[in-house]
Amino acid sequence: MTVARSERLLTLLQVLRRYRQPVSGKILAQETGVSLRTLYRDIASLQAQGALIEGEAGLGYVLKPGFMLPPMMFSPEEIEALVLGSRWVAKMADVRLAAGAVDALEKIAAVLPSELRAEIDESTLLVAGPRRPDDKSDLVLIRKSIRAEHILELAYEDEKGALTQRRVWPFALGFFDSIRIMIAWCEMRQGFRHFRTDRIASAISTEKRYPRRRSVLLKAWREDQGIPAPH
């Protein structure tokens, strides 16, 4: 297989990964810059290599989970994205998540060919940002509660320092340059609310599941905020 064809097949896989619903061959051909005939041949080649691509001409194609890319197929841009992303998380996230970013990049580097490993070691992409306010809350607890879909009981400060007690259903955590935001359904307000983590004086997990799934809440929040859903 030529290098050009390998890169083309990798590009096709990456495009397919962006779509959760079947996508037409015409769209795939346009996004990968090949003819429809070449697109069909490439799909057949990937299927022969074990890629779980379902569908057929006229109906569309979807890539099912389970097909792993060989690490040597990372492009320079993908390596740079991994390095930049891990450095951003290492700088902006809590200690546990920051350590996870560093460890993940080390695992990737360990299986890369030497020339690609050098791309990581010698990357000149740096992350800088303003200092965040210190968090009073336990971000590890918040992330665990989001994963487990557990209700949290909060003591939350407003901008004047006044405390209110809240029961919330946390489902997302937003990281910004200067603050972090926990996104949750608030039982008291009966609506979506954004809680600055540096104003969460205390958070206790009830260990009880909230009645709606995290994915359902996230979808409803996106619609409420007018945020388009990902492909």
Whether the Cβ atoms of residue 76 and residue 10 lie closer than 8 Å to each other: no
Torsion from C-alpha of 153, 172, 102, 139, nearest 10 degrees = -10
- Amino acid 191 reads G
Kindly give the interhelix angle for 76-92 and 95-110, rounded to the nearest 10 degrees.
Answer: 160
Three-state secondary-structure class, residue 36: helix
pLDDT of residue 52: 86
The dihedral built from the CA positions of residue 11, 49, 46 and 65, taken in this order, carries a sign that is negative
Helix segments in the chain, DSSP class H:
3-17, 25-32, 36-48, 76-92, 95-110, 114-121, 139-148, 214-225
pTM above 0.85, yes or no: no
Tokens of 97: 């998540």
Whether the Cβ atoms of residue 145 and residue 172 lie closer than 8 Å to each other: no
Whether the Cβ atoms of residue 184 and residue 169 lie closer than 8 Å to each other: yes
pLDDT of residue 1: 46
Distance, CA of 177 to CA of 52 (rounded, Å): 39
pLDDT of residue 72: 52
Q: Report how far Cα 37 is from the mean position of its chain's Cα atoms.
A: 33
Tokens of 199: 């104003």
Distance, CA of 125 to CA of 136 (rounded, Å): 31
Residue that the structure tokens 């390095």 belong to: 83
Distance, CA of 183 to CA of 112 (rounded, Å): 37
Cβ-based neighbours of 118, under 8 Å, separated by 6 or more? none
The helices-and-strands tally (H runs, E runs) of the chain is: 8, 7
pLDDT of residue 155: 96
- Which positions of the chain have pLDDT values less than 50? 1-3
